A and B are shown apart, each in its own frame.
Chain A
Amino acid sequence: MPAYKLTYFNARGRAEPIRLLFAAAGIKYEDVRIEGADWPALKPKTPMGYLPILEVDGATLCESTAIARFVAKRAGLVGKDDLQQAKADMIVDGMKDILKKLILMVLEKDEIKKEELKTDISEKTLPEFLSKYENLANPSGFFAGDSLSWADVDFYNLIERVRAMFPGDHLKGKPNLVKVMANVKANPGIAKWVKERPESAF
């Protein structure tokens, strides 16, 4: 059984989907969280100069989505055939735009601009995104095929991040998405991890 070593900051951030997938499948891994001060020394040792990285089988992987897909494959959560896997991939990639806007909003220092970005997200980007994704999830609450995949887990993680920044019942009137969230939360490994994971600011 290969050893897995995940390295990131002490945050959920870009590593959390990966941790959720390890938890969903009950796969043991080393969850390394570094201090900001330790990053400059580590940076040149990473493939592309950023985190997270996953060390496995003597190789070092970077890019959180590539790592998540790799772990999802090991966990049997990628989808049953090439087409289902492509569906899961497109669902995950499709969340990048809104994630980017959320990050830009969080990083915006100008308070007025920040409020504008917040309003744009809560009144336009988020509702449009959720409408699209309601149509892409099936009534059983899965994005790819008829069982849990990493696309569902990734969606759950995004919504949790959104709720932390924009309190409210965003999934009202979106029964498919409500089911996706319930399916993910019902996974015992994920439920346990969410309860026991280290606290962090983001």
Chain B
Amino acid sequence: MPSYKLTYFKHWGRAGVLRLLFAAGGIEFEDVRIERDQWPELKPKTPMGQIPILEVDGTIICQTKAIGRFIAKEAGLAGKTPLEAAQADMIVDGLSDLQVKIVDFFIEKDAKKKQEKIKEFAEKTFPVFLDTYEKLASSSGHFVGDALTWADVDFFSLMFFLKDHLPNDPLKGYVNLSKVRDNVTSNPGIAAWMEKETSH
């Protein structure tokens, strides 16, 4: 059994989905969460000066999606065929396109600009995204085939991340997407993990 060591900050951020994938697969891993002031010392030791990083028996992988895909493969959540794997990849890539827009308003320092960006996101970008993704999800609540894949988990993770920043349940009225969320949260490993993460 290889050793897995995931390093990130404490918050959900970019590593939330990675921890979920380990949980979904029932895979043991070292969940290292560093303080902000530990980062400068670690940064030069990372491949690209960023976290999260995953150390697998001494080899270091960076880039969230590369790590996510790796864990998904180990967990049997990367799709059953190369085509399914590609379909999962495209769903995940579309999610990270949205994440770029989220980060954009997140880091905006000008209060007025920030409000404008949030408004544009909430009223235009996000509904267009949800409309698109509703069509890509099946009525059984899967983005790929008829079983859970990391694409579903990644979608749930981003919705979870967003929930504190949006006033209402964003998936209200989106039948397929709500089913995706239900499928993810009813995965036993994920359910147990979320219980731990959200209770303090």
Q: Are A132 and B59 in contact (CB under 8 A)?
A: no
| Given A70-B82, A136-B47, A82 contacting B90 (CB threshold 8 A) | no
| Whole-angstrom CA separation of A98 from B82 in the bound complex | 29
A87 at the interface (CB under 8 A from B): yes
Give chain B residues whose Cβ lies under 8 Å from the Cβ of A93: 63, 65-66
| Size bin of chain A's contact surface | 20 to 34
Q: A79-104 CB contact bits vs B (8 Å, 1 = yes)?
A: 00011011101100110000000000
Residues of B within 8 A of A (CB-CB), count: 27
Q: In chain A between 42 and 91, which residues have their CB closer than 8 angstroms to a CB of chain B?
A: 47-49, 56-57, 59, 61-63, 65-67, 69-70, 73-74, 82-83, 85-87, 89-90
Closest B residue to A136 by beta carbon equals B47
| Given A61-B90, A65-B89, A67-B86, A47 contacting B59 (CB threshold 8 A) | no
Give chain B residues whose Cβ lies under 8 Å from the Cβ of A66: 86-87, 89-90, 92-93
Give chain A residues whose Cβ lies under 8 Å from the Cβ of B62: 90, 94
Give chain A residues whose Cβ lies under 8 Å from the Cβ of B83: 56-57, 59, 61, 70
Summarize B's interface: helix, strand, loop or mixed. Answer: helix
Q: How far is the CB of B50 from chain A (nearest CB, A)?
A: 9
Q: How far is the CB of A2 from chain B (nearest CB, A)?
A: 9
B85 at the interface (CB under 8 A from A): yes
12 pairs of residues in contact across A and B, judged by CB atoms under 8 Å:
A47-B136, A63-B90, A65-B93, A66-B90, A70-B82, A70-B86, A83-B59, A86-B56, A87-B66, A94-B48, A132-B48, A136-B48
Q: Are A94 and B59 in contact (CB under 8 A)?
A: no
| Whole-angstrom CA separation of A100 from B93 in the bound complex | 15
Q: Are B85 and A70 in contact (CB under 8 A)?
A: yes
B198 at the interface (CB under 8 A from A): no
Q: Are A89 and B87 in contact (CB under 8 A)?
A: no
Q: In chain B between 92 and 151, which residues have their CB closer than 8 angstroms to a CB of chain A?
A: 92-94, 132, 136
Q: How far is the CB of B114 from chain A (nearest CB, A)?
A: 20
| Whole-angstrom CA separation of A81 from B36 in the bound complex | 34
Q: How far is the CB of A135 from chain B (nearest CB, A)?
A: 8
B61 at the interface (CB under 8 A from A): yes
| Given A47-B136, A65-B89, A86 contacting B49 (CB threshold 8 A) | no
Q: Are A94 and B63 in contact (CB under 8 A)?
A: yes
Q: Which one of B73, B74, B82, B94 contacts A63 once the chains associate, using CB atoms below 8 Å? A: B94
